[in-house]
Amino acid sequence: MREVVLTGVKPTGMPHIGNYFGAIKPAIDLAQKGQGEGWLFIADYHSLISLHRPQELNQMIYEVAASWLACGLDPEKTVIYRQSDIPELMELNWILSCLCPKGLMNRAHAYKAKVQENKEHGREDLDFGVNMGLYNYPVLMSADILMFNATHVPVGADQLQHLEIARDLAEKFNNTFEEFFVLPQAVLSEKTKIIPGIDGRKMSKSYGNHLPLFEDAKSLRKKVMKIVTDSSAPEEPKDPDHSLLFDMYRFVATPEEVKAMEKKYKEGIGWGYVKQDLFDALERLIQPMREKYQEFMNNKDQMDRILSEGAAKARPRASENLRKIRKAIGLSR
């Protein structure tokens, strides 16, 4: 079976360093090293669950496209397209909804988290703030994956349940009608679990502890210098295994640099020097990508062309698969 690597990215603004190491780089590497196909979609329909500001959504779509292209995604090797340019997804979404038990959606993480939040706030209506987009989110994600019979889907640990739901719905369809859908496999990146933010928690925009990937050098350095450290004196030996700065440094420095920094830790080094070395390693990585990002953001016509070409590649596959699906369920001969 031909390998199909598929990844979706919801437009939420400029990605951060954690997104790069936890999702962007692993997905690009997997697509480029594989012998099969690479697919990346911008999940703009998913954004409508919570984002209802048209201009902001439109800008974020370009930011996502520019980010992935600047990080090395090759549109000749990976099909990149907007989710909303593939209308066949909406029909498959309905078909899968008609096979999906309500109880499966009741157990979905995003819905359960919202219900728990309402409980904690003492709200009588436990579904307060829940729209059907949020509730049915895993079904649309399943349609995104199954439409192209993805064999491998890079996901973080927080998205693993959604992939399991996609597998459940694929099996339900195969058992109810005929064997059509491939059961996709999760490709988990261990790094997604341990990339720290500037306060020691997992790097996240919601925590406000992230390092934006393409922020200008001056602002980036200012954020690095705010990373939390202890009050130990410069000459005191330090434990690299229990250091937020060292945890971050190992992601961006070379193996030789990491080894040298470990030696400096054990001999004693001031936190200011460590932060400067971390910034230098970050800037060395980011600066070339930042330039490409700005070039793409200044040329949206080029991105429109790339995304349109991607949709032109994706739609015939989606249309043919939907034709077979409709035949399997009895809607056409």
Contacts within 8 Å (CB) and 24+ apart, 181-184: 181/146, 181/149, 182/1, 182/4, 182/146, 182/149, 182/150, 182/151, 184/6, 184/145, 184/146, 184/150, 184/151, 184/152, 184/153
Q: What tokens appear for 116 in the block?
A: 């728990």
pLDDT at 156 over 90: no
Q: What is the DSSP letter of 75?
A: T
| pLDDT band at 34; cut points 50, 70, 90 | low
Q: Which of 133-142, 170-179, 204-213 is predicted with the least confidence, judged by mean pLDDT? A: 204-213
Q: Quick one: pLDDT at residue 1?
A: 66
Higher pLDDT, 194 or 44: 44
> pLDDT digits over 57-105, tens only?
999 999 999 999 999 999 998 999 999 999 999 999 999 999 999 999 9
Mean pLDDT of 224-242: 91
- Tell whether the torsion through CA atoms of 61, 62, 66 and 69 is positive or negative: positive
Domains and CATH numbers, the chain: 4-195+300-329 (3.40.50.620), 217-293 (1.10.240.10)
- Looking at residue 115, what is its pLDDT? 96
Active site residues: 119, 202, 205
CA distance 112 to 161: 12
Q: In the structure encoding, which two tokens stand for residue 245, read together?
A: 């700065």
Q: Can you give the pLDDT at residue 63? A: 94
Answer whether residue 29 shows pLDDT above 90.
no
* Span 106-129, pLDDT tens digits: 999 999 999 999 999 999 999 999
Structure tokens that stand for 8 in this block: 């979706």
